[in-house]
A and B are shown apart, each in its own frame.
Chain A
Amino acid sequence: MIITIASGKGGTGKTMVATSLALSLAELMPEQPPLFLDCDVEAPNAHLFLHPTWTEQKDVALLIPSVDEAKCTHCGKCAEICQYHAIAVLGQKTLVFPQLCHGCGSCTALCPEKAITEIPDRMGVIERGPAAAGISFARGVLDVGEPMAVPVIRQLEKWMQPGPGQTVLRDAPPGTSCPVVTAVRGSDYLLLVTEPTPFGLHDLRLAVQVAAELGIPAGVIVNRENGPYMALDEFCAGQRLPVLLRIPFERAIAEGVAQGKTLVDIHPEYGDRFRQMFVQIASLP
């Protein structure tokens, strides 16, 4: 089972929830602790809570075209097919713009002169290793200045195949664009962590649309709850989104998390709450 933790809005507590859920599940299934993927490749930080030891690392590269000018007749077929305009034929020169290239390979396949070869262009790295409580941990890290997070997330997901029956937790990036869709796609359940503010609700609405578009059932965790916020409850009721857990706005939690402690370190009773929540999700038809 794959559960993805997303939010829309940044800073709602995705990683706090994901890491404590992982630790709670490791206790529930000690013979097979979960697989944890930090898919927030622009700013991965779940390792700060789960302390993995990196044992393996792999570069993520896109295959980008390299044009042999001696063979190129400047016919323009490559430029015509490229929907990202990453290759242009300008008079007697064919230019490649690596940062626009999505690595689809169409130009290489269609070149009638076979003048294009593909060369790897590094954009980031994926790494893995065992973490706290026997959790299998992996993350992607996008290189600074690289514009595309999606290939790094895809490679991470491909690299980390779960064992039979192993639960996978994916910590998604904030937002609702391509990297989030890549992290969410293929999940069995989406946990949306929100905060009871107009900002949290605004972005939750967007995240719920992503879930609906991808046809993935979702539930809500309200973090930093500080008294009733009717608009959020009304929205969840209207969308038939179950509110699975409410975490109060509490100084002890804020202080503990700020020191790098997990929620289940700060309040061990959350272990049972996360396990009950998991059982509830896993028993969905």
Chain B
Amino acid sequence: MKIILTTTSPNIDSEIDPRFGRAAYLLVIDTNTHEWEAQTNPGASAPGGAGIQAAQFAADQQAQAAISGDFGPHAFKALQAAGIAMYLYGDCRMARQAIERYKAGQLQQVGAPTRGDCDSDHHGQGA
């Protein structure tokens, strides 16, 4: 199955990027074959809707899980609609480490957005 991770560089030995919508890269990995592919995050510099764009990408890839440090309200809603499970990095620093922990069932799953929408949902960058 395919999962998506947010990373700071376009490869599997990258450090994690704790942001979802604003992450530098989106790493898609097949957990069975360990084949991976990295993609520049289309929403990294978008003025708004970054989380939705990243979620759209994850859905288009038919990913079953997304791992990041943060899921905003729009990203959460979109990923949930797409049936993509969300997990948090916790104290993982490297993408490989997060993949191993995911496979071992050691990552915390997210059941609600990890932050609010105090900037009125606008531009998606509110903390």
- Where the two chains meet, the residues of A that have a C-beta atom closer than 8 Å to any C-beta of B are 76, 79, 84-86, 88-91, 93, 95, 97, 99-100, 145-148
Contact = CB atoms under 8 A, between A and B. Distances in A.
Contacts of B43: 85
Nearest to A86: B49
A91 B48 contact: no
A38 B81 CA distance: 42
Contacts of B83: 91
A79 B119 CA distance: 23
B61 to A, nearest CB: 11
A89 B60 CA distance: 9
Interface of B: 43, 46, 48-50, 52-53, 55-56, 59-60, 62, 74, 77-79, 81-83, 119-123
Q: Which of B56, B77, B120, B122 has the most CB of A within 10 A?
A: B56
B66 to A, nearest CB: 12
Contacts of B49: 84-86, 97, 100
Given A84-B48, A97-B52, A100-B48, A89 B59 contact: yes
B82 A85 contact: no
30 contacts: A85-B46, A85-B48, A85-B50, A85-B52, A85-B53, A85-B56, A86-B49, A88-B52, A88-B55, A88-B78, A89-B56, A89-B59, A90-B81, A91-B62, A91-B82, A95-B77, A95-B78, A97-B49, A97-B74, A97-B121, A99-B121, A99-B122, A100-B48, A100-B49, A100-B74, A100-B122, A145-B120, A147-B119, A147-B120, A148-B122
A86 B79 CA distance: 14
A6 to B, nearest CB: 22
Given A85-B48, A89-B59, A90-B55, A95 B121 contact: no
B121 A90 contact: no
A192 to B, nearest CB: 27
A100 B121 CA distance: 8
A13 to B, nearest CB: 29
Contacts of A89: 56, 59
A100 B120 CA distance: 10
A88 B53 CA distance: 8
B36 to A, nearest CB: 22
Contacts of B55: 88, 90
Contacts of A146: 120
Nearest to B42: A85
A93 B120 contact: no
B56 A79 contact: yes
Contacts of A93: 81-82
A93 B59 CA distance: 10
A89 B52 CA distance: 10
B59 A91 contact: yes
Contact of A147 (B46, B60, B81, B121): B121
A145 B60 CA distance: 32
Interface centre among A85, A89, A91 (most CB of B within 10 A): A85
Nearest to A147: B122
3 residue pairs, one from A and one from B, having the closest CB atoms: A85-B49, A147-B122, A90-B82
Contacts of B56: 79, 85, 88-90
A91 B79 CA distance: 10
Contacts of A84: 48-49
Nearest to A99: B121
Nearest to B74: A97
A145 B55 CA distance: 24
